[in-house]
Amino acid sequence: MVNPDGSFAIGHDAIREIWAGFISLGGQITMTTRYAVEMGDIALLSNEWSFVSQHMKAASSTAEVARRQADGNWLYIIDNPYGGGSVEDA
């Protein structure tokens, strides 16, 4: 997962830590799917999202790549939630 500064969070624990930070802000997130293009076991995805809390506002478009697993579930192999914008303080 790409962080706002361009660094990467790799692995469940690192990604969970990022989401824990958002959850601790107590805001609301909205998301709208822009597109999902599936080609075999790989998919290209993009969403529009916004997050608002007392502490911050953020909005962006995502850029994501997922791979279908042997059990049929999809897992992200690349997740850039800041593909089209940046975080702003409230």
Bridge partners for 66 per DSSP: 43, 76
3-state class (DSSP) for residue 51? strand
Residue 90: pLDDT band with limits 50, 70, 90: very low
pLDDT in tens, 43-55: 999 999 999 998 8
Mean pLDDT in residue range 31-35: 96
CATH architecture entry for 12-89: Roll (3.10)
